Amino acid sequence: MIDAITVDQATLDEIAVTLDEYRLIVQKLGRIPNELELGMFGAMWSEHCGYKNSRPLLRLFPTSGPRVLQGPGENAGVVDVGDGLAIVMKVESHNHPSAVEPFQGAATGVGGIIRDIFTMGARPIAILDSLRFGPIDDARSRYLLDGVVAGIAHYGNSIGVPTVGGEVYFAEAYRENPLVNAMAVGVIEAHRIVRARASGVGNLLLLVGADTGRDGIHGCSGLASRELSDTSDDQRPTVQVGNPFLEKLLIEACLELHQTGKIVGMQDLGAAGITSAVVEAASKGGSGVDIDVQKVTRRATGMTPYEVMLSESQERMLVVVQPEHVEAVQAIFDRWGLHADVIGQVTDDGIVRVRDGDRVVAEIPATILAEAPTYRRTGRRPSWLDAPAPVVPADEASLDEALLRVLRFPDVASKLAIFRRYDWSVQTNTLAGPGAADAAVLRLKGTRKAIALSIDGNGRYCYLDPYRGGAISVAEAARNVICAGGEPIAATDCLNFGNPEKPEVYYQLEEAIRGMSEACRMLGTPIVSGNVSLYNESRGTAIYPTPIVGMLGLLEDARYRVCAGFVSEGDRVLLLGDDGGCGLGGSAYLAARGYVVGPAPMLDLDRERRVQRLCLDAIRRGLVRSAHDVSDGGLGVTLAECCLLGGIGFVGAPPDTEDRFRWLFNEGQSRIVVSVRPEDEAALRILANEAGVPCVPLGTVGGDRFVISGWLDVTLESLVDAWGSLADPDGE
């Protein structure tokens, strides 16, 4: 007999279930749930786990392609890269936990995304992160930055997975709601993919790894699926605590087990803990499960079935094993110092049945738990998109001063002070680490191939035009991979938005997804995995809509990788593409002066595709010595960064225009600055003409100054001082 409870509004609020959803639960269940069952519904029907407001929109994404071995729906996406190998990739958010407890929030975000990778049977080989904070001179924003960077460094460095790239932006919109998005990538033999399936009646369920404690209860429903408030600090107990050294053991044990072929399925325990793991495994396997919470090893005394089922303690895995293999599997985990408890078995009735010894304490069909209600809302175009743009006073600074100011702007300034906290060379795969190229490049050992990885997004653009901003996030991520020498072949995404119940926010979400979808189709980069983080707002104010795109590129031959810095004295510098008459709207130049005004930069996806293909073709022919895309700060910053990264100057002639500031600082898309040997310039021009892409000479590499004759003349030393102005996260 299942005991029912009388529900009140406070209980529903605690688990983030509406009254209408509660009535739907009663209807589907055919009875009133008890406390544990209601808690399980709250977790599985939360926005974090159930994707209630985003699932209908996510269907707009292209998710298949000739290289896609596994698209959305599993722990991570899988992409064929040839030579019998596949890349496993995913990006996820840990925004709300990081706002409440930055060190552990960021650390466990890294731990969770790493588990998504090796759950598929892949060895994790790279981490990238995309971070957003409030103004850097704000004390709390600095505290959050320090804690998040320390958490990422602690977990990634300890676990032995390199952090090879990332991005960091600062804006008032993120003051109360920082964004911490972590991307992980792994490599696997293509025929050895493991999926999260609980199939085969009588097969046993093993809970492996850390003991179960009280940390993280209501993390997915009470913290991650509603707005932050003045009482959010009271939710620190819902933030998990990570142990990277234990996870390292778990990685090695699971990968060894994977090689034996003795497992049926594997699922990591993340949001909603045991509940989510068994429900997802059962629903995907078309089966039921019967588990006993008394068989779960605990690190706290007196834990109730509710606490055991909803704990989000880290470093735990659910493994499905045939009975005859249990002892062999447990022996592998024992050798790595990990216990593996048999907590239940697979059944054929489709029911998730939870026992506390002899007493049944929950009994729910897996499909009901796994299929949260979805909402297709009607968005409303925000009024500010149609309001007249404020008049921005003319810049009275000289071009020299304006360039140095933009280079000092925290969004543009070098992030070396942050990147140096991360070990980006462990595992000896990294050919181009943070800052060396527009994308990280990692060798695929045993082959001539390499992969290029980037992670990108621009909240300013999406705030000013969600559709165009979403498309640009895909285009820029692909362009960065191209500039490193890789062919973009697949993407993963993390959608960070405010409260979707507000029509303006829902409009932003829908339009951004539409823009991203069109760009993915045009550029041939299907979305193979991803995450949605909503309710990123407090005191009624939402973050900038911030879709983040992680892009995978393939280099058939690692020798053709390209870095961003100028290489040699005398090389010719050219611009592939043109700005299409783009203005300064949405630019870092205006943001550095305190203005976030539109219109956002224009994007012609056909032109973008032609520019990208031209650049990749030229790189593969050995014509290009360096490549750097034009993005934050415009052409002026791009050229300055090429000088800074190469440690060498540049001398150019001014273009035929009087609008100097617009030419230098507009952020028109589909442009790449390349350098070539003088003898290769003609060949590049021929290729560009055949591709129908403008190829504009800009100047020559050389000297120790950045010069555009008659316009600006800045020493490299001045550029270094301005660009390196972002203080160390530790304040050192």
- The answer to pTM > 0.85 is yes
What is the per-residue pLDDT for 319? Answer: 95
pLDDT of residue 224 exceeding 50: no
Q: What is the pLDDT of residues 152-184, one digit of tens each?
A: 999 999 999 999 999 999 999 999 999 999 999
What is the per-residue pLDDT for 13? Answer: 83
- Cβ-contact 483, 437 below 8 angstroms: yes
What is the per-residue pLDDT for 391? Answer: 86
| 351 or 730, which is more confident | 351
Beta strands in 52-172 (DSSP E): 68-70, 77-82, 85-93, 123-133, 163-170
Compute the half-sphere exposure of residue 30: CA atoms within 13 Å on the CB side of its CA: 5
* pLDDT bucket at 348, cuts 50 / 70 / 90: very high
pLDDT of residue 219 exceeding 60: no
Q: The tokens of 85 are what?
A: 């190998």
CA dihedral 49, 220, 473, 376 (to 10 degrees): 50
C-alpha 562/C-alpha 452 separation (Å) is 11
DSSP 563: B
Q: What is the pLDDT of residues 360-398, one digit of tens each?
A: 999 999 999 999 999 999 999 999 999 888 889 888 889
- Cβ-contact 563, 432 below 8 angstroms: yes
Q: Which neighbouring-strand residues pair with 451?
A: 442, 554
Strand order of the sheet with strand 179-189? 68-70, 77-82, 85-93, 179-189, 123-133, 163-170
The structural domains of the chain, with segments of one domain joined by +, span: 1-55+195-357
C-alpha 139/C-alpha 657 separation (Å) is 43
What is the per-residue pLDDT for 728? Answer: 53
Mean pLDDT along residues 571-597 = 95
pLDDT, averaged across the chain: 93
What is the per-residue pLDDT for 656? Answer: 87
- Please provide the CATH number assigned to the domain covering 1-55+195-357: 3.90.650.10
C-alpha 635/C-alpha 71 separation (Å) is 37
* pLDDT bucket at 236, cuts 50 / 70 / 90: very low
Phi, psi of 562 (to 5 degrees): -130, 140
Count Cβ atoms within 10 A of the Cβ of residue 547 and give its class: 0-12 exposed, 13-18 middle, 19 or more buried: buried
Report which of 505, 386, 484 is spatially closest to residue 442, judged by C-alpha positions. 484
Mean pLDDT along residues 643-653 = 97
Mean pLDDT along residues 539-562 = 96
Q: Which neighbouring-strand residues pair with 186?
A: 88, 124
Mean pLDDT along residues 65-74 = 95
Q: What is the pLDDT of residues 436-451, one digit of tens each?
A: 999 999 999 999 999 9
Q: The tokens of 310 are what?
A: 């909803």
Phi, psi of 167 (to 5 degrees): -150, 155
Q: The tokens of 356 are what?
A: 């506390």
Q: The tokens of 481 are what?
A: 């991979």
What is the per-residue pLDDT for 222? Answer: 47
What is the per-residue pLDDT for 598? Answer: 87
* pLDDT bucket at 732, cuts 50 / 70 / 90: very low
What is the per-residue pLDDT for 196? Answer: 79
pLDDT of residue 118 exceeding 80: yes
Which residues are the active-site residues? 48, 94
Neighbours of 234 (CB within 10 A): 10
Please spell the DSSP secondary structure of 445-479, one letter per residue: TTSS-EEEEEEE--HHHHHH-HHHHHHHHHHHHHH
Report which of 121, 111, 125, 113 is spatially closest to residue 155, judged by C-alpha positions. 111
* pLDDT bucket at 731, cuts 50 / 70 / 90: very low
Mean pLDDT along residues 537-547 = 93
CA dihedral 478, 484, 486, 489 (to 10 degrees): -20
Beta strands in 617-669 (DSSP E): 624-629, 650-652
Count Cβ atoms within 10 A of the Cβ of residue 329 and give its class: 0-12 exposed, 13-18 middle, 19 or more buried: buried
Q: What is the pLDDT of residues 132-159, one digit of tens each?
A: 999 999 999 999 999 999 999 999 999 9
Q: What is the pLDDT of residues 450-467, one digit of tens each?
A: 999 999 999 999 999 999
Beta strands in 228-336 (DSSP E): 265-268, 288-292, 316-321
pLDDT of residue 220 exceeding 90: no
* pLDDT bucket at 14, cuts 50 / 70 / 90: confident
CA dihedral 484, 485, 487, 492 (to 10 degrees): -20
